[in-house]
Copies of this chain bind each other. A is one copy, B any other.
Amino acid sequence: MTELSLFDRGLHYGDGLFETIAVDAGQPLCWSAHWQRLHRGADRLNIPLPDYATLTAEVQTQARALHYGVLKLLVTRGVGGRGYAPPLEAHPVWHCLSYPWPAYPASHWLQGVVVRVCDLRLAVQPALAGIKHLNRLEQVLARQEWHTPRIQEGIVLDSAGYVREGTMSNIFWCRGQDLFTPELTTCGVAGVIRDLLIQYAPTWGYRVHVGDYPLTELATAEAVFLTNSVIGLWPVRQVQQWRYPLGSVVRALQDQLRAQAWMMRDVEIARNYTA
């Protein structure tokens, strides 16, 4: 099926959620982590989710067919009438779309990327923060701020001036063994790879700090990097006038993250959910 009802609330209100899932060797990486975030989002919006077994079977089938690429799983509250009030009994609709692996050059991982700071500020909205919902006009506006392929990502601050994320990624920086990443309880998307890093980096010998940081923090960072489910980890070599040499910490994290994400391929599904 390649079409959606014109009366779907996903279209009318962005009343839904999505997950972007990397597929490698026919395996949906970190699927159970994606499922968990989807579940958190559905709880927040009060959208009934299709059951885990159904979605998992679909994601696994499509991952096997795709072999290598990206799946985008969309879940909406389904068809409704005119008006914001959800139907008393909503029938959620979901679609799993396949995309080829994006044609990023290897240098993005090896030498790092160049990043700008966006003019657009993220609005503070705790009710929608952290989850991956379908209201993404802020990201669309921020991503329209540059067109040169020399710049690969934009950092967005919130309306109070704190660093929050990239338009399509989460941001981290480090000093020694201390890793820093913004708190995302007032805006932003809590990425699956960000969660994974926050969870596992302490076991790899790092201290992780999550907080409200001004942009000037990046001036004194030893390294800056971006994460998401598709790129994994991209080192940042330049943010505006600040340049960062490629350090051993970022290299080590790339390796650890890759190993961890691979370990969390769908094999884990059986381990976690066959109770």
* Residues of chain B contacted by A3 (CB below 8 angstroms): 3-6
* Residues of chain B contacted by A5 (CB below 8 angstroms): 2-4
Q: Are B4 and A6 in contact (CB under 8 A)?
A: yes
Given contacts A3-B5, A137-B135, A138-B128, contact A18 B12 (CB under 8 A): yes
Contact with B along A162-191 (1 / 0, CB 8 A): 000001100000000000000000010000
How far, in whole Å, are A83 and B8 apart by their CA atoms in the complex? 22
Question: Would you call A227 an interface residue if the criterion is a C-beta within 8 Å of the partner chain's C-beta atoms?
Answer: no
Nearest-neighbor residue (CB-CB) of A154 within chain B: B84
Contact with B along A1-34 (1 / 0, CB 8 A): 1111111111111110010100000000000000
How far, in whole Å, are A85 and B139 apart by their CA atoms in the complex? 9
How far, in whole Å, are A9 and B128 apart by their CA atoms in the complex? 20
Give the shortest distance, in Å, between A73 (CB) and chain B (any CB): 12
Contact with B along A133-144 (1 / 0, CB 8 A): 111111111111
Q: Which listed residue (B7, B14, B84, B167) contacts A134, Cβ 8 A?
A: B14
* Residues of chain B contacted by A45 (CB below 8 angstroms): 137, 140-141
Q: Are B74 and A12 in contact (CB under 8 A)?
A: yes
How far, in whole Å, are A13 and B167 apart by their CA atoms in the complex? 13
Question: Would you call A61 an interface residue if the criterion is a C-beta within 8 Å of the partner chain's C-beta atoms?
Answer: no
The interface on chain A, measured as residues whose beta carbon lies within 8 A of the other chain's beta carbons, has a size of 55
Question: Would you call A82 an interface residue if the criterion is a C-beta within 8 Å of the partner chain's C-beta atoms?
Answer: yes
* Residues of chain B contacted by A15 (CB below 8 angstroms): 136-137, 140
Give 22 A-B contacts (CB < 8 Å), ordered by A residue.
Answer: A2-B5, A3-B6, A4-B6, A6-B74, A6-B97, A10-B11, A11-B11, A11-B76, A11-B134, A12-B134, A14-B135, A15-B137, A45-B137, A83-B143, A84-B168, A86-B144, A120-B127, A123-B124, A123-B187, A128-B137, A133-B137, A135-B135
Per CB-CB distance, the 9 closest pairs between chain A and chain B, nearest first, are A14-B14, A123-B123, A3-B3, A123-B125, A135-B135, A84-B143, A13-B136, A84-B139, A4-B4
